[in-house]
Amino acid sequence: MHIFFAGGGTGGHLYPALAIARALVRADPRAEPFFIGARRGIERDILPDTGFPFELLDLHPLYRSAPLKNWRTVIGATSAWRRLADVARTRQPAALVATGGYAAGVALAYASRHRIPIVIQEQNSFPGMTVRYFAQRAAQIHLGFPEAAAFLRYGPKTQIVDSGNPVDLPSPSSTSALPSTRLPEDHQQALARWGLSETSGKTLLIFGGSQGSEAINQVVSEWITQMRDESKGQVGRRGSAVRVIWATGKGSYAMYQHLESATVKVRPYISPMADAYAAADFALCRAGAMTAAELAVWGIPAIMVPLPTAAGDHQTANAKALAAVDAAILLPQPELTTATLSAAINRLSSDAAGLETMRQAALHRARPHAADDIATHILTLL
């Protein structure tokens, strides 16, 4: 039973597809996921190590700021359509699961033309252009944020499911291993793996996506330097000391690695992220949909700095949705300064009751079984 997956260009579109594919195989060994992606996307680096068969096509986004480049998009789509037709004749897909992004557009058009059942998984609270266009043709639409339904025009037979965003859990087969049931000793062990003492305050996890965020990094650097000067080497203010786990991104690591100390751990990237999530009490991060989903599953409150150039400003919409239920603090990038960051960190690190309220609000938004639930709906459809 071949099931095509289309979506990529970025990890935010690819990783949900991988989580659903793995859940499908767990639920029904007859399921055979096949991935369709873009040669220029992150999938070219990720898919070879997943064990799933795949085909990378000459797909391009719409070049909104440079429309003269869109000839690449048209020519690439034409060649991709022909190659996709060859693959479909060989594998005869029972369904197409699309997770958005420019890498999904041609596959969605092909499935619609050839009456292949379409399942869409939309990660963000404001749906992307590809998802909005094909929503009317979908048999199922699975929403990462229920707020997204208001922006979709779907068909009379389309099934809308508030499933949450699918994430890979540390141990999907064991409910006792779910992050929401984290015990104090688990947190202590996680801190020990980072070489951090549990007696030195709360742990702040800082990351800005796979490539890092220079806007966040610069302010964090200033904040750490200022806090050390004020407290003679200890990050944080008196009575609310803070431990820091900071992923700068590979390109920026050399610039900030000198800030490493007993209470500040600086890394170019973190893998697996579960090691950092298990140690964190709160986070400073962007507001991508999958970041929001993972933080919710782990019950980690966040100070969210949305990427202002994200398509449709969807990261701001994500952050507003979480801030509205008190699971996050929205700090727009133009307002991100050493003073505003310090105020937000001090607020969370010094108010244990408030932090726990935010943790519970985050857990309330969590969908730890989203991937399995989506897989069950897909198999029911088939």
Give the residue, 115 or 57, on which the prediction is more confident.
115
Q: How many CB atoms lie within 10 A of CB 275?
A: 15
How far is it, in rounded angstroms, from Cα 123 to Cα 9?
14
Work out the percent of the chain whose per-residue pLDDT is above 70: 90
Residues 6+ apart with CB under 8 A from 90: none
> What is the average per-residue pLDDT within 256-263?
93
Q: Which domains does the chain carry?
A: 2-165+369-381 (3.40.50.2000), 175-365 (3.40.50.2000)
pLDDT tens digit string along 92-123? 999 999 998 888 989 999 999 999 999 999 99
Residue 251 has pLDDT above 70, yes or no: yes
Locate all alpha helices (DSSP H) within the chain, ordered by sequence.
11-27, 43-46, 70-91, 105-113, 129-134, 184-193, 214-231, 253-256, 273-279, 289-298, 314-324, 338-349, 352-365, 370-381
How much is the pLDDT for 174?
37
pLDDT tens digit string along 162-216? 999 998 765 443 333 455 555 556 788 889 999 987 666 899 999 987 678 999 9
Residue 219 near residue 337, CB atoms below 8 Å: yes
Residue 239 has pLDDT above 80, yes or no: no
How much is the pLDDT for 13?
87
